[in-house]
């Protein structure tokens, strides 16, 4: 949300508060709060490809 959108929400909240609609004004201000932290799954472990030994013999 950019500065313009934040300013518009604040101005709407002020307008509703002046008209006596305090709960509606609070709702406008509450909607601006966005939870940014996300739970991301841990990456899957990758299977490592076995490289041949320099002498060409396998262990």
Residue-level pLDDT at 39:
77
Residue-level pLDDT at 18:
94
Q: How confident is the model at residue 44 (pLDDT cuts 50, 70, 90)?
A: confident
Q: How confident is the model at residue 59 (pLDDT cuts 50, 70, 90)?
A: low
Structure tokens at 43: 């990456």
The reported pTM is 0.50
Run of H or E residues at 41:
none
Give the single-character DSSP code of 20: T
Residues 6+ apart with CB under 8 A from 10: 29
Cα distances (Å, whole numbers) of residue 34 to 1, 22, 29, 37, 38: 9, 21, 11, 9, 11
Closest CA to 32 of 47, 12, 56: 12
- What confidence tens digit (pLDDT) does each residue in 9-38 have? 899 999 999 999 999 999 888 865 566 677
Residue-level pLDDT at 52:
76
């Amino acid at each position: 949300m950019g500065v313009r959108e934040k300013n518009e929400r604040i101005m709407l909240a002020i307008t509703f508060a002046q008209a006596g609609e305090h709960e509606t004004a609070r709702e406008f201000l509450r909607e601006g709060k966005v939870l940014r932290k996300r739970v991301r799954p841990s990456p899957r472990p990758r299977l490592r490809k076995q490289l041949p030994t320099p002498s060409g013999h396998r262990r």
